[in-house]
């Protein structure tokens, strides 16, 4: 799976804890370029699970909802898919466009909240929504939107709780918040996350790359 993800992270623009309209955008730290062996091992597990599920769908096009700085959208394009991304933040999308340009790719990025996306304009054969739902005040509403867009597949991931917060505490991060990463409003175990998605989807596969839950779903 060496092709999965961007080919290089040197010079890759990241938000690193920035916020827009009081909402944390993008990535709080550079996990993509980290030299920490544990972080690299966990990210490799996430990447292999993500691209393994993408290949299961045999999709030719993908819309990444909540694409942030565009790391995975760029990876999908490098993997041969027709890829596009959307995010509510103009600031983070400026980084995504710069990152795509740096990678030599022409990718469309749309400034739009997940709540305002709609079919048919924003629908895709495969919709990817990774590490987004935990940031939302209305995740059930967002799942309904994703069900409108997925034609028919969705891959979604969230931090697996309480493991996520325990690992943050173990590395001495966010102690006062009980290990909660800034901007995380929702907290799901694998079982609870499956239940959330089962409201609108058939869950086809469950993967647990530490410390995430990742689901491959097909719209009912």
What pLDDT, on a 0 to 100 scale, did the predictor assign at position 31? 66
pLDDT in tens, 80-116: 999 999 999 998 999 999 999 999 999 999 999 999 9
The pLDDT of 37-48, averaged and rounded, is 94
The pLDDT of 31-41, averaged and rounded, is 80
Q: Could you tell me if residue 49 is inside a domain? A: yes
Any idea how long the chain is? Answer: 220
Mean pLDDT of the chain: 90
What pLDDT, on a 0 to 100 scale, did the predictor assign at position 22? 64
- Domain CATH number, residue 213: 3.40.50.150
Q: Could you tell me if residue 192 is inside a domain? A: yes
Domain ranges, residue 153: 45-219
Total number of domains in the chain: 1
Q: Could you tell me if residue 28 is inside a domain? A: no
pLDDT in tens, 155-181: 999 999 999 999 999 999 999 999 999
Q: Could you tell me if residue 189 is inside a domain? A: yes
> What's the pTM?
0.90
What pLDDT, on a 0 to 100 scale, did the predictor assign at position 11? 66
Q: Could you tell me if residue 1 is inside a domain? A: no
What pLDDT, on a 0 to 100 scale, did the predictor assign at position 36? 83
Q: Could you tell me if residue 39 is inside a domain? A: no
Q: Could you tell me if residue 119 is inside a domain? A: yes
| CB neighbourhood size of 10 (10 A) | 6
Pairing status of strand 82-87 against strand 61-65: parallel
Nearest to residue 163, comparing CAs of 212, 200, 119, 197?
A: 212
């Amino acid at each position: 799976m060496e092709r999965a993800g961007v080919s290089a992270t040197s010079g890759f623009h990241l938000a690193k804890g920035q916020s827009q309209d009081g909402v944390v955008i993008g990535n709080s730290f550079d996990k993509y370029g980290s030299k920490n062996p544990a972080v690299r091992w966990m990210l490799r597990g996430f990447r292999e699970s993500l691209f393994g599920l993408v290949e299961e769908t045999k999709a030719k096009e993908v819309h990444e909802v909540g694409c942030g700085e565009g790391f995975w959208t760029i990876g999908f394009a490098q993997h041969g898919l027709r890829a596009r991304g959307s995010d509510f933040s103009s600031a983070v999308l400026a980084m995504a466009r710069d990152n795509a340009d740096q990678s030599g790719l022409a990718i469309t990025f749309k400034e739009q909240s997940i709540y305002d996306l709609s079919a048919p304009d924003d629908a895709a054969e495969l919709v990817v929504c990774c590490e987004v739902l935990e940031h939302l005040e209305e995740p059930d509403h967002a799942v309904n939107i994703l069900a409108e867009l997925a034609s028919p597949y969705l891959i979604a991931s969230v931090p697996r709780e309480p493991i996520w917060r325990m690992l943050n505490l173990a590395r001495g991060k966010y102690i006062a918040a009980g290990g909660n990463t800034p901007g995380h409003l929702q907290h799901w175990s694998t079982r609870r996350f499956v239940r959330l998605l089962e409201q609108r989807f058939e869950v086809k596969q469950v993967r647990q790359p530490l410390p995430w839950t990742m689901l491959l779903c097909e719209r009912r």
